[in-house]
Amino acid sequence: MKKISLILLVALSLPAVAADVYKAKFGSKLRLDGDSSVHKWKAESRLIGGSFTVDAAALAKPGSVSAKAEVKIPVRQIKSGKKKMDEVMHGEKCFDVKKYPLITFALNGLDVKQARGSLSLCSASGSITIHGVTKPLEMPVTIARAGEKLTVKGSTVLKMSDFKITPPSPQLPAGKIVTKDEVKITFEWVTAK
């Protein structure tokens, strides 16, 4: 009984890990870059929602960090600036926004590889869901700490076909456009307490 009491006393006297919840704020951005037989293309969004739970102080040193995040991107907000391209991208044969309105990423692992001042170079792992298909994803990210704000930046390359999306190939009077399967995703996610 004394041993259990001693263990309990020691456990209760240890400092608790202070994880804070950071919510998505204005200033976030997402960019998709791809290529086709005719031209390079891009599409962008300024809307990234969700929340990030982490002890920001733990980001200041290398090692595994207890963190959770749920990132939500409304697909309809991803736009190329070209009406016809947006119609194809949002349509049934591509993102199918009526059936799959969100792209989501659930973070379940975060390792700080290097920390310099208020900037942490990390490896983030989790699962991404696009077009109703969920795949594991690991990518390098940087996390900048500034007061009550955390800004997460990163990029990765995905294949549309991995998410059961057939790269669009619209028919034009001059011929068919063939879109390449790979898409580079670059993001800057601004969060604050």
Q: Is residue 75 part of a domain?
A: yes
Q: Is the per-residue pLDDT at 170 higher than 90? A: no
Name the more confident of 144 and 6: 144
Q: What is the reported pLDDT for 188? A: 98
| 172 pLDDT more than 80 | no
Question: Mapping DSSP to helix (H, G, I), strand (E, B) and coil, where does residue 177 land?
Answer: coil
Residue 109: is its pLDDT beyond 70?
A: yes
DSSP 92-105: TTTT-TTT--EEEE
Take residue 104 and report the two structure tokens written for it: 């989501």
* Chain segment 132-167, per-residue pLDDT in tens: 999 999 999 999 999 999 999 999 999 999 999 988
| Pick from 12-16, 51-55, 103-107: least confident | 12-16
In a domain, 34, yes or no: yes
- What residue numbers bound the domain in which 122 lies? 17-192
Q: Which of 84-93, 118-127, 162-171 has the lowest mean pLDDT?
A: 162-171
The amino acid at 187? F
Q: Which of 154, 155, 193, 187 is nearest to 56 (CA)?
A: 193
Nearest Cα to Cα of residue 66 among 49, 52, 83, 48: 52
For residue 6, name the pLDDT band (cuts at 50, 70, 90). Answer: very low
Domain annotation covers residue 33: yes
CA 106 centroid distance within chain = 8
How many domains, the chain?
A: 1
Cα separation, 81 vs 59, in Å, equals 37
1, part of any domain: no
Q: How far apart are CA 15 and CA 126, in angstroms?
A: 28
pTM of the model: 0.86
Q: What is the mean pLDDT of residues 129-134?
A: 98
- Residue 5: inside a domain: no
Q: Is residue 10 part of a domain?
A: no
Domain presence at residue 54: yes
**Beta strand residue intervals within 46-96, DSSP E:** 49-54, 63-65, 67-74
What is the reported pLDDT for 176? 78
| CATH number of the domain that residue 124 is part of | 2.40.128.110
SS3 76: helix
Q: Mean pLDDT across the stretch 163-184?
A: 84
Indicate if the pLDDT at residue 56 is higher than 90: yes
Decide if pLDDT at 1 tops 60: no
Residue 114 in any domain: the answer is yes
